[in-house]
Structure 1
C-alpha cells in the first residue's frame, strides 16, 4: 500500500512539474496549484489516468513521452496554429526564417497524409537531379515515409553540406519507383523574385516573409525606379504566400505608404494590443500597383494586401485569401522545446478582421489552368482558415457562443488544394501564360494611358 502511494505521489509530482515547466517556461508566473478547484480536479484526473496506464497498459510506456503528447493535445485544441514543438520541429521553425539551410532543395507538403513534392527549388541538388512537382516521396535513406510527421521528414532530408541522402519517389506514369542519390548543399531560400514584364512595368513575387524580405524588396524597387527602367506600374504577387514574420509584413507595407495605420493587433492582454503605423521616408512611389492574391495567401501576406487596399494604394486582384488573421508568438522552453501559441487577432487599417474571413479582392479573377475551361473551374479550390478544426472566430465575443462543428468532413476533404508553385524558375514566358498576371498588366497599362501617361498606345500587349 505504501509503495502504491509513493508511486502515485511520484506521478502526481511529474504532472505538476510538467505543467509548471511549460507555463513558467512560457513566461507566466501565476500559481496554478491554487488557481481554481476545477484546475486541481482536472490535474488529479490526469494523474489517475497516467498512473493506470503506466501500471496496466499492454506494453511498457514512456511517461515523459505521454506527458509531452498530452501537452501537445492540450495546446493544439486551442486553435490550428498553436503547438507544442519538440526540439527538432522548433529548430526547423527557426531555420525557416533565416533564409538558408543545408538540404536538397525541395518544397514539400502532406496532402491526405502523403509526402508530396510541391516544387524543387531552382539550382539545388533536387532540381538538378530531376525531382519534379508531384513526385511522392516514399522513402528517405531507405526508410518508409508512411506515418512520418512532416517535420520529421524535413529533418531527415536536411543536414550539413556535402553529406549524402537517398530519396525514393513514386512518379505518376512511371511503373517503378525512382531513386535519387543526392548530395546536400546550402539552400538559399529566396523570398523575393522580380522581372520587368515590359518597359515601365515591374513584377515582384514574394513567396514568404523572412528576415531579409523587406531589404530585398527595397533593393528591387530601387532598381525598378532607376533611370534604366522608370517604372510606371508594379505587380506585387502574394499568391500562395503562407505568411511569415509580422515585422516584415509591416515594413514591406511601409515601403508603399506615407502614413496611417498598417495593421492593428488586438489581444486579451494590453501588452498584446498594438497599432503598427507607416512612416514617411520621402521616397516618391506614385506609380500604380496591383496586388495578386489567392486562397493560399495567408497571415503576413493578408496584412500587406489589406493595408494597401484600405489605404487605396493598390488594387487587389485574384480570389479571396486564406483568412488567417491571428498572431502567434513563439517561446523557448527548456531542453530545446518550443511553444507557439496565439496571442491576438489582426485587423486592417479600416478595422476589418481578417480571421476566417480573408481579404476580398477588388476584382475577382480566377486562376486559369491550361487543361480546364474557365467556366468549368471550381470557384474555390483552396482549404481556408474557416475549414480548419478549432479555428478562431473573427471577433472574440463570438467565441463565447457554442461553436459549430468543424466543416472538416468528407465534403471539405474532397476540395482540391491545387497550388501553382511560386518557388520555381521565374521567367517571362511562364508569366505570359498566367491569366491573372496578364489581367493585372492590362489594368496598369490602361490606367497609365487614361491618365495621359507616356505608355505608347500602339505598343502591343506582352501576350500578343
Structure 2
C-alpha cells in the first residue's frame, strides 16, 4: 500500500513536470512564431511599398528609415548614426581635429561665422564673427548642409583651403587662403573672480576634459598664490558627454576614505551593465566650499557630477532644476562602420536615487534674471527629459541633500564686476562662498 502511494505520487509529479515543460515549449514556440509573424509583416510592407509607392523607392533610405523608426519607438536617445555622423561624433568628443578654427552657423540659408576660435588659422588670418562664407575652394555654400561645409573645411593639417567671404562694409568679396592645423576645442574655462575665489566652467565632457580640469585647478591655485577659498563650478548648459571624464572631475573632490568614494552606479538588463564607479584614493583638493551652478540644460554627465557632490555633501547646488537624463547610452560600431547609440542602463547617484525624468533639485533655487532690452516677450517653457516623447520612467526613490564648507573678500576686477552684474546666479554663488567663510571665521 505504501509503495503504491509513492509510485502514484511520483507519477503525478512527473505529469505536472511534463505539463509545465509542455507549457514552456508552447510559450517559446509562440514567441518565435510571433517574431516570425512580425518579420513576415515587415517584408510584406516593404514589398508593397517598393511596388506601389508613387515614386521609385531608394532601398537604403527605406531601410535606414525603418531602423530609425524602430529605435525612436524605444526612447529619445537611442539612434542610428550613418558613418559620416558617427565619425563626426567621435571627432567632436576627441576635442581635436584638423581644420581652420571657425564656429559656424546659418542665417537665412547662408553659412555664417559665429566666431573664430582664438589662436587658430582663421583667427590669425582675420576671419570675423558675422562673415558670410559664400564659397569653399570656389564652390558655393548656398543650400549646402552645414555638416557638408564642415567636412570640406576640415582635413589633414598642413593642407590649404580657400574661403570666399562676404563682409558687411566691404565693397568686394574677400578671399582667404588658410592652412589647416590641429584645432583643439576647449571644454574648460577658468578664472579668478576675486583673490581666493575661482570660477571654473565646463561646457561638455570631452576626452581631455578631466585632464584640462585638473590643470586648471593647479593654475588657479598658482595665480591665487595659495589654496583657494572657494570655487564656483558652472555646469549650466552642459549637455553631458563622456562618463569617465565626469568621474575624473568628481574624483578631485570626493573619496578621501576607502568606503566614501562612490560616484555613480549603473543598472541595466544585460550582464555587465551593473557597475559601481568610485573615486581613487589619493590627492584631493583642499576642503574649500564649492557651489555648483545648474539649469534646465544641464544633463547626463553634468547631472552625475552635481548629484555626486550633492550626495557627498561636498557642494551646494544652486540654480534651477536640471534636465533629468538618467540613462546610459552605449555606442556600438556596426559591421559597415555605422554607429548604433543604444540606451543600455540607468544611472544612480551615490545615495541610490535615479534622476530620470526628474533631474537634480538645487539646494538653493535661483532663477536667471536678465533685464530685457525690449518689452519682455512671453517666456517659452524649458524642455526637459520628462517632456520628451517615449522617455523612460523614473526608477528608485529620490533623496535630496544640501551642503557647504569655507571662504573671505577682496577688491574685484572691473571686468569681473561687469560679469557678475550680468549673471545674478554667479553673483549669488560668490556671495554664498564668502558668507560661508565669514560664518566659519566668526565661529572660531
TM-score calculated relative to the size of structure 2:
0.75
2:374 matches 1:385: no
Change over 3 Å in CA distance of 1:168–1:309 after alignment to 2: farther
Q: In the alignment, is the contact (CA less than 8 A) between 1:129 and 1:182 conserved in 2?
A: no
The CA distance in 2 between the partners of 1:48 and 1:33, in whole Å, is: 22
2:91 matches 1:95: yes
Instruction: Indicate the residue corresponding to 2:127 in structure 1.
Output: 129
2:56 matches 1:56: no
Q: In the alignment, is the contact (CA less than 8 A) between 2:233 and 2:293 conserved in 1?
A: yes
2:232 matches 1:235: yes
Instruction: Indicate the residue corresponding to 1:3 in structure 2.
Output: none
The partner residue of 1:431 within 413, 416, 419 is 419
Following superposition, the deviation at residue 57 of structure 1 comes to: 3.2
3-state DSSP class of the match of 2:36?
Answer: helix
Instruction: Indicate the residue corresponding to 2:409 in structure 1.
Output: none
Change over 3 Å in CA distance of 1:447–1:370 after alignment to 2: same
Q: In the alignment, is the contact (CA less than 8 A) between 1:167 and 1:181 conserved in 2?
A: yes
Following superposition, the deviation at residue 384 of structure 1 comes to: 1.4
Q: Deviations over 1:396-430 (max 9, x none)?
A: 99xxxxxxxxxxxxxxxxxxxxxxxxxxxxx7466
Q: Deviations over 1:347-371 (max 9, x none)?
A: 1112221211111111112223243
Following superposition, the deviation at residue 324 of structure 1 comes to: 1.2
Q: In the alignment, is the contact (CA less than 8 A) between 1:126 and 1:182 conserved in 2?
A: no
Instruction: Indicate the residue corresponding to 1:209 in structure 2.
Output: 205
Change over 3 Å in CA distance of 1:354–1:165 after alignment to 2: farther
Instruction: Indicate the residue corresponding to 2:244 in structure 1.
Output: 247
Q: Deviations over 1:43-101 (max 9, x none)?
A: 11221222223333343333233212211221222111111111100101111121211
Instruction: Indicate the residue corresponding to 2:437 in structure 1.
Output: 448
Q: In the alignment, is the contact (CA less than 8 A) between 1:291 and 1:317 conserved in 2?
A: yes
3-state DSSP class of the match of 1:438?
Answer: helix
Q: Which protein shows a greater Rg?
A: 2
The partner residue of 1:142 within 140, 143, 146 is 140
Change over 3 Å in CA distance of 1:336–1:287 after alignment to 2: same
Change over 3 Å in CA distance of 1:80–1:441 after alignment to 2: same
Q: In the alignment, is the contact (CA less than 8 A) between 1:103 and 1:158 conserved in 2?
A: yes
The CA distance in 2 between the partners of 1:34 and 1:86, in whole Å, is: 35
3-state DSSP class of the match of 1:129?
Answer: coil
Instruction: Indicate the residue corresponding to 2:41 in structure 1.
Output: 45
Aligned residues: 386
Following superposition, the deviation at residue 34 of structure 1 comes to: 9.6
Q: In the alignment, is the contact (CA less than 8 A) between 2:385 and 2:391 conserved in 1?
A: yes
The CA distance in 2 between the partners of 1:336 and 1:33, in whole Å, is: 35
Change over 3 Å in CA distance of 1:284–1:157 after alignment to 2: closer
3-state DSSP class of the match of 1:74?
Answer: helix
Q: In the alignment, is the contact (CA less than 8 A) between 1:208 and 1:242 conserved in 2?
A: yes
Following superposition, the deviation at residue 392 of structure 1 comes to: 1.6
Consecutive unaligned residues in structure 2, runs of 5 or more: 1-27, 398-414
Instruction: Indicate the residue corresponding to 1:71 in structure 2.
Output: 67
TM-score calculated relative to the size of structure 1:
0.72
1:259-278 equivalence runs, <5 A:
259-278=260-279
Following superposition, the deviation at residue 335 of structure 1 comes to: 2.1
The CA distance in 1 between the partners of 2:295 and 2:105, in whole Å, is: 18
Consecutive unaligned residues in structure 1, runs of 5 or more: 1-31, 398-426, 454-464
Instruction: Indicate the residue corresponding to 1:307 in structure 2.
Output: 308
Q: In the alignment, is the contact (CA less than 8 A) between 1:263 and 1:275 conserved in 2?
A: yes
1:283-322 equivalence runs, <5 A:
283-322=284-323
The CA distance in 2 between the partners of 1:429 and 1:122, in whole Å, is: 24
Q: Deviations over 1:278-310 (max 9, x none)?
A: 233143521000111111111100100011011
Change over 3 Å in CA distance of 1:396–1:363 after alignment to 2: closer
The CA distance in 1 between the partners of 2:152 and 2:29, in whole Å, is: 41
Change over 3 Å in CA distance of 1:303–1:67 after alignment to 2: same
3-state DSSP class of the match of 1:262?
Answer: strand
Instruction: Indicate the residue corresponding to 2:349 in structure 1.
Output: 348
3-state DSSP class of the match of 1:234?
Answer: strand
Change over 3 Å in CA distance of 1:396–1:221 after alignment to 2: closer
1:394-433 equivalence runs, <5 A:
394-395=394-395, 428=416, 431-432=419-420, 433=422
Following superposition, the deviation at residue 269 of structure 1 comes to: 2.3
Instruction: Indicate the residue corresponding to 1:164 in structure 2.
Output: 161
Q: Deviations over 1:133-156 (max 9, x none)?
A: xx999987524447x4x7555434
Q: In the alignment, is the contact (CA less than 8 A) between 1:104 and 1:125 conserved in 2?
A: yes
Q: In the alignment, is the contact (CA less than 8 A) between 1:257 and 1:280 conserved in 2?
A: no
